[in-house]
Amino acid sequence: MTEVTNTGAAWLSREEMDSARERLPILYVDAVPVRVDVHGTVIAVGLLLRIGEDGQVKRALVSGRVLYHERVRSALLRHLEKDLGPLALPRVPTSPQPFTIAEYFPTPGVTPFHDPRQHAVSLAYIVPVEGDCAPQQDALELTWFSPLEVREPTVLAELANGQSTLLLQALAHVGV
């Protein structure tokens, strides 16, 4: 019999998570951090630099799982703080609305989004950030790109698992 420990965060063991990933779609949030001017126009897009599970250095959006019994807004705030630091000051509305839903499949080619570990459904948000950002945990750095720079093929090629498609959808959603 497996011992059950109440951690308050509802974490699963590595084995339990692997088992769940083989059987169920997992809910995630993706966040595109942006800087906006006084008129609300996006003037910069923040991309993280990470070392992936395959050892390659890639750019990434803020992303992570929604925990059991956690509100989506709380998950967004938790992942933004985890990746951008506690002084990032993200502006997440009380009832956030995703700009799209991305479906990540373990089989390449089903959608533009791929996650070899699992079938994941991600609610994607554009989040204005007003404070000082300092990459945390597994993020090596955060780079701010202008909306034109972030569309360059060399930058888009640095994003993994279809996140370049998600980034372009975000830019189209805000009209830049």
- Can you give the pTM of this predicted structure? 0.86
In a domain, residue 3? The reply is: no
* 13 domain-assigned: no
**Residue 55's pLDDT is what?**
82
1 domain-assigned:
no
CATH code for the domain of 53? 3.90.79.10
Tokens of 167: 């980034």
Regarding predicted confidence, which is higher, 52 or 171? 171
- Judge whether 52 and 15 are in contact, CB under 8 Å: no
3-state class (DSSP) for residue 154: helix
Cβ pair 139, 89 in contact under 8 A = no
Q: Does any domain span residue 18?
A: no
- Supply the pLDDT for residue 9: 56
**pLDDT per residue over 103-159, tens digit each?**
999 999 999 999 988 899 999 999 999 999 998 878 889 999 999 999 999 999 999
Q: How many domains does the chain have?
A: 1
> Is residue 153 domain-resident?
yes
- State both tokens at 124: 């994607």
- Give the pLDDT confidence score for residue 1 in this predicted structure: 39
Print the domain residue range for 48. 23-173
